[in-house]
Structures are given as structure tokens and as C-alpha cells.
Structure 1
Amino acid sequence: MKLIAFAAALAVAGTAAAQDMPMPAAPAAPAATPTGDDPVGGYQPATPPMPTPPQPGATIVFQQAPAPDVAYPAPAPMAQYPICKKGQYDNCRQRGG
């Protein structure tokens, strides 16, 4: 078995054969001309991402975001929780607890 592995290693480690043909050149990039479905201006949005700046003297109001427990309140507790079954971890209680 060791002899077979040694022979395979020698075969793989042999000298590499030189290439006779040169590598083909990479194809040229396609022209950037719009085709049937491509919009003329590209895929950028038609409207600017930010609204126009406010006029001088305009009142800007900064408002603090609500706390996470107010923005995303917890669900109401259930009236009664059943005993957990095998593999169940939510909406149940441990046996003997």
C-alpha cells in the first residue's frame, strides 16, 4: 500500500509539460449602449435621495424616538400556561414549577 502511494506521489510530482499554444486574449467588454429595456439614465433613482434643504429661517423640530418598550410593547400574558411537552420551550411552564 505504501508503494502505491509513493508511486502516485512521484507521478503527481513529475515535471509539468510546457504549453505549446499561447493563452487566448480576454474578450472585449461589451459597449455601454442602452438596449431595449435599459433606461437611458441608468438605474439611478429619478428623484434625489434627500429632500431639498429647508429655506433659511424655517423651524426644524428634532424629536426623540420613543423607548423600545413603548414602540414595541410586549404581548399580554396568557391566563394559564400548560405544562411543557418534550421539545416545547415557549408558552408553557416547567413541570413542578
Structure 2
Amino acid sequence: MERLTNVGLIEGTSPAGTFKTDTLGNRHGFHLKKVMVPNGSPEIIKLHYPQSEIVYDKRAIMEDSTIDLIVISGAAKNDLDLVAEVLQTGKHVRLV
């Protein structure tokens, strides 16, 4: 059986709205474990990510030893600092 890659999602303020995870999921080997949204309603976020834990601090994702990949959605120009922080944790990072 294949091992699932645990993913943490850090959402920025994206004009497109909440990042859709249709391309992620168990059938592609990914498990969206935690989602952090700085300016979102927990109820709305839970509708989009019912299987995921909602967190309010990026450290809860970055310091989770079970998360392999961190996706940063709706990144702003100043999010390069965030990318550097994630890379320093030894995790993979993807901007979408």
C-alpha cells in the first residue's frame, strides 16, 4: 500500500477565493491534514476541507512532524519570507 503524503495548507488572501483541493486527495497520494486560513470563517473552511484540522497559526503546520509538504495558496509578494521559513523546517513547499 502506498504511503500518503501529509499536506498542510496555508492560505493567503487570494482574490480567487479558497484554494480548491480537487486535484489533491487520497487517490493522488495526498492527505490534506491541516489548513490555516488567516481571515476565514471556520465554518466555511470546514465545508471546503471537512477531513482537515483547522488551525489558526502557521507554526501548527510548520512544526507538525507528520506533514511532508506545505502548500501556500494565494501568496502575496511578501510571502517569500514565509517560503524561507517553511524551507528552514526541512519540508517541501509549493506555491499555488
TM-score by length of 2: 0.14
Instruction: Identify the structure with the greater strand proportion.
Output: 2
Larger radius of gyration: 1
TM-score, normalised via structure 1 length: 0.14
Question: Which structure's residues are more often helix, by fraction?
Answer: 2
